């Protein structure tokens, strides 16, 4: 019978990596196997996960790669929180606000949901083919901004969107738009 489940932790925004690293250090300090049924061990906390994706941004005329958290303010943990000592190890970690869901223990998340998140951020050969490039000038071919031209500032290949810098009445504006509405 499976004893661990995935849970979402709400954490202070921008502390996701710090919480993950602190939890990992706590896990590494735990005994490898259960010596005492009441005390936590490494088998009780299997994984701490912060989903991130890579985006490309243009700043100062240069294209830069940046890692962006998919769920700012949240860390996912695969643990046996039915054991009170495990719950305390996790919940008492600096930066953790609490478990997400009803009640103090939170609600478990299906493995399939976490697998879908992991699959969406993994780099595979079947990623959408993007013919657009950061810094390229494109024209919007339909919609509210039809006929406007802009420079591609960012590309999100997973959402198939681009962020354009568009000149509107002398002011530069950022506009997120789907690939299929753009032409070279």
Q: Classify 53 as helix, strand or coil.
A: strand
Query: What burial class does residue 100 get, using C-beta atoms within 10 Å of its C-beta: 0-12 exposed, 13-18 middle, 19+ buried?
Result: middle
Q: Are 177 and 105 within one domain? A: no
Q: Which domain holds residue 77?
A: 5-56+68-121
CB 124 within 8 A of CB 59: no
Q: Are 23 and 52 within one domain? A: yes
- Whether 148 maps to a domain, the answer reads yes
Express each pLDDT in 94-138 by its tens digit.
999 999 998 888 999 999 999 999 988 865 433 445 678 889 999
Give CA 162 to chain center in angstroms.
Answer: 19
* Total domains, the chain: 2
Q: Are 34 and 80 within one domain? A: yes
Average pLDDT value over all residues in the chain: 86
- Whether 132 maps to a domain, the answer reads no
Residue 79 scores a pLDDT above 50 = yes
Taking only Cα atoms into account, the Rg of the chain, rounded to an integer number of angstroms, comes to 22
pTM of the predicted model, to two decimals? 0.64
- Whether 36 maps to a domain, the answer reads yes
């Amino acid at each position: 019978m499976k004893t661990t489940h995935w849970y979402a932790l709400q954490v202070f925004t921008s502390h996701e990596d710090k919480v993950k690293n602190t939890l990992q250090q706590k896990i590494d300090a735990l005994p490898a196997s259960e010596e005492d049924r009441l005390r936590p061990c490494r088998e009780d906390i299997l994984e701490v996960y912060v989903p991130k994706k890579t985006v490309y941004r243009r700043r100062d005329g240069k294209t830069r790669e940046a890692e962006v958290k998919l769920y700012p303010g949240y860390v996912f943990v695969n643990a046996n929180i039915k054991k009170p000592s495990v719950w305390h190890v996790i919940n008492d970690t600096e930066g953790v606000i609490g478990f997400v869901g009803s009640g103090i223990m939170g609600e478990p998340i299906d493995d399939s949901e976490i697998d879908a998140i992991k699959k969406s951020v993994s780099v595979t050969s079947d990623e959408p083919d993007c013919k657009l490039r950061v810094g390229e000038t494109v024209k919007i071919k339909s919609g509210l901004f039809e006929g406007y031209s802009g420079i591609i500032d960012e590309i999100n290949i997973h959402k198939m969107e681009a962020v354009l810098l568009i000149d509107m009445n002398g002011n530069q504006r950022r506009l997120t738009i789907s690939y299929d509405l753009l032409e070279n």
